[in-house]
Amino acid sequence: MFPPNAFTISSVLKACKGMNSVFSGGLVHGLAIKRRFAEGFIYVDNALMDMYATCGVTMRDACVVFHDIKEKNVVSWTTLIAGYTHRGNGSRAVQIFREMSLEGAELNPHSISIAVRACASVGSNILGRQIHTAVIKHGFESDLPVMNSILDMYCRCSYLSEAKEYFNEMSEKDLITWNTLIAGYERSDSIEPLFIFSQMESEGFSPNCFTFTSLIAVCANVAALHCGQQVHGGIFRRGLDGNRELANALIDMYAKCGNINDSQKIFSEMSCTNLVSWTSMMIGYGTHGYGKEAVALFDEMIRSGIRPDQVGKLAAKKALALKPNMVESYVMLSNIYAAEGKWGEAERMRKLMKRAGSKKEAGRSWIEVRNQVCSFVVGNKMGSHIEWVYEVLELPARHMKEAGYVPELDCFIHDQEDGTDLK
């Protein structure tokens, strides 16, 4: 039997990372310590860091390995930066990159790209510009992936004029370059991506699904129905109409542009739907006032086996993205969470509604009596004949109690604003 060497250990650690098994990786780590491969073998240390950064619950174990490395190389630094970046902690990743620069560590295109991505994630344009300077200083301006990452950084930091200027100065471009600029302008609610797309096609680049997803979002953001229909035609001509993500985007676009019939047509023709498909269609119905259709679609979705709690989570993001200041969105989501027994989430929606300056309109009923319209507001005990009204209301309540009716408390929502219970 041949004993494992350092190369064997590092290869097995990569396999553990591929399986996302931190338990197996920990066993290999123990073997590395036993065989004395965990100290002085930089590629074993780097493999350990990569495994822990990818599979671990936190970055703690990866940091322990990193700090125990006596002579760190560019892979060691880049692995730690990438770990924090992929976990969404761009601030910490940027801080480590600064430490790397102060240590005088060697930079390579991959470390630059990861650092730029971290800057973009936290909107740190100042450090991004410094990294851009370092790119030129180290002669990486001919490396297309590095240049694309810098372009993405300018776009995500909302420096679109600099991004456009930088784009025009690039000597080499690929489809990722064009898609990056289109997506950057899409986030600004501008129609500029449509002109960039036209220029892209004139220079011989063929759009892919990512390109069309951004273009559909542009049309949805500015409610440009005619442009959206042209984009839809381009998707159809290229045989991409069977793509589920594009179909979902089209459902949303047509609904936002006021053409709910085309949204329904695309939805009904989809051979394979997912949670986003159902949610987009339901929110489209709700936005246009088709309550019955939305409820019927919800029931159909339940029968298809999709759990409503998942819909609630996604609907929250979608509804608030559509109309963040619309009180009905908050109330609807609060009701959904309460129906699921998620009282903490229901309360959070109420607090967000209050923080946004929205207030739920009180429930109101109207009735015409002898050619006079009378209005009743929830909790109102003022007005003529109000005592007679409450006496009449007591009758059905008494009958229900005598019949043994027990109210369904899960249907009640506690209103955090006035302390009353709303049904």
> Based on the domain organization, do 288 and 329 belong to the same domain?
no
349 and 420 in a single domain? The answer is yes
SS3 20: coil
Task: Provide the CATH number for the domain around residue 179.
Answer: 1.25.40.10
In this structure, the answer to whether residues 182 and 240 fall within a common structural domain is: yes
267 lies in some domain: yes
In terms of domains, do 208 and 267 share one? yes
Segment 244-269 mean pLDDT: 94
- Calculate the dihedral angle through the C-alpha atoms of 245, 249, 252, 255, rounding to the nearest 10 degrees: -120
Q: Is residue 276 part of a domain?
A: yes
pTM of the model: 0.68
- Decide if 355 is inside a domain: yes
Band (401; pLDDT cuts 50, 70, 90): confident
- Asked whether residue 421 is assigned to any structural domain, the reply reads yes
Helices (H), 123-241: 125-137, 144-156, 160-169, 175-186, 192-202, 209-221, 225-237
Place of tokens 């197996």: 24
- For the chain, how many structural domains are there in total? 2
The verdict on 268 and 368 lying in the same domain is: no
Q: What is the pLDDT of residues 122-174, one digit of tens each?
A: 887 788 888 888 888 888 888 999 999 999 999 998 899 999 999 999 999 99
Query: Are both 231 and 262 inside the same structural domain?
Result: yes
Whether residue 419 is contained in a domain is answered as: yes
Domain annotation covers residue 63? no
Number of neighbours of residue 190 by Cβ within 10 angstroms: 15
| Token pair for 327 | 């009180």
Closest CA to 230 of 201, 203, 273: 201
Kindly tell me if the per-residue pLDDT of 421 is higher than 60. no
Tokens at residue 179, please? 């898609």
Q: Is residue 105 part of a domain?
A: no
**pLDDT single digits (tens) 301-314:** 878 887 655 555 55
Q: 212 near 240, Cβ under 8 Å?
A: yes
Q: 3-state DSSP call for residue 393?
A: helix
Domain that holds residue 229: 173-306
